[in-house]
Amino acid sequence: MSAEPRAVGAAVMGRESPSKLSVRGIAKRYGAADALLPMDLDVWPGEFLTVLGPSGSGKTTLLQLVAGLIEPSAGSLFIDGEDRTHTPVHQRGIGVVFQNYALFPHLTVRENVLFPLQMRRVPAPELKRRAAEALGMVGLGALEDRFPRELSGGQQQRVALARCLVYQPALILMDEPLGALDRKLREAMQMEIKRLHRETGATIIFVTHDQEEALALSDRILLMNHGRIEQIGTPQHIYEHPASLFAADFIGLSNVIQGRIGAGGVLETPDGALPLPPEAPRLSSGATAALVVRPEHVSLRPATPECAALRGRIVESVYAGSEFRLLVTLGSGTTIVARRSPGQAPLAIGDEVVLDWDAAQGRLLPA
């Protein structure tokens, strides 16, 4: 869960209210190809759920099924407890924000925002008030008479958000809405979306392939792979407790050390025996496994008895502002990445180092 307090937090974590969206056995098949394998999912009122995964993982197919843009091959879909499996897209009460903004170029900012209200025949006295509120929410009240071509990319995206929020949809779907923005503007818009989510209490399903974006925005992350759910949980839980090698590799940067389970609670590797994490799953002796260690947990210092220890040589050093990222090659050829503060004693390419980490910081996964 996001560290920021939110009124819906109890509902999201404690499941105190019915789900906003519930899918049961939903699947999509095109001929002999499975775009989405049967899956169950609940999204809670006020939750920010990010659907994350590589291209072809099924995340956009799931979004299209929820929106009603395509028909499922199997399963059911409920919004606020009502069966919406075959309800037309315009009757689902869902708002969608696209990557390309989809603004009407011949309409002003105000007219773009008014459009969904006019389509719903909202009484005229309400139109001006609700449009002004929506534009004020995204900080564009002073630009309401401009046309989309007269706005920056970030401003156009804010118009798209205002147009979606203005009619208070039951559910908001965002399909990689920040993908066309540069990095600085993208980060600014992430904070804008977090603010709008907090202030409106809207239920949002956000699709992206950017794992940093998912970690920054989400209450929960739904990680998809090959048309199925790989793992679902809070950003912190998925980052610190990946359920598979795919999850460990896709969410953040991981060091993966392959080996076999040996006697005495160690992982036998070509570079030496490494102690297993205290909460490692029980695997039979000789079973292949992988030890996952995040770069921030790797220290370049003399080893101590309670820590894992490996020896290697620094082959690359990358300065990233707040840290150095050091690539260390072990004797077996395995490369380990370590993060090091600029304030620490400098290390250079070619230096031989000892790597260690607290064994409890590792994660053992079956290979």
Mean pLDDT over 218-246 rounds to: 95
DSSP run (H or E) holding 184? helix 183-200
Structure tokens, 174: 């965002």
CA distance linking residue 289 with residue 245, whole number of Å = 10
Residue (of 214, 150, 162) closest to 186 by Cα position:
214
Question: Within a 10 A sphere around the Cβ of 348, how many other Cβ atoms?
Answer: 8
Average pLDDT for 310-328: 89
Mean pLDDT calculated for residue range 60-88: 94
For residue 1, name the pLDDT band (cuts at 50, 70, 90).
very low
Domains of the chain: 9-245 (3.40.50.300), 253-366 (2.40.50.140)
Query: What does pTM read for this prediction?
Result: 0.85
| Confidence (pLDDT) at 338 | 94
Give the range among 34-48, 121-135, 173-187, 295-309 with minimum mean pLDDT. Answer: 295-309
pLDDT value, residue 129: 87
Cα 254–chain centre separation: 17
Per-residue pLDDT tens for 125-183? Answer: 788 888 888 888 888 888 888 999 999 888 888 888 888 888 888 899 998 888 777 78
In the predicted model, is pLDDT for residue 244 greater than 90?
yes
Confidence of residue 207 (pLDDT cuts 50, 70, 90): very high
pLDDT (0 to 100) of residue 128: 83
Joined together, the tokens standing for residue 123 give 């009484």
**Residue in this structure with the two tokens 């025949």, named with its chain if needed:** 121
Given this model, what pLDDT does residue 83 score? Answer: 95
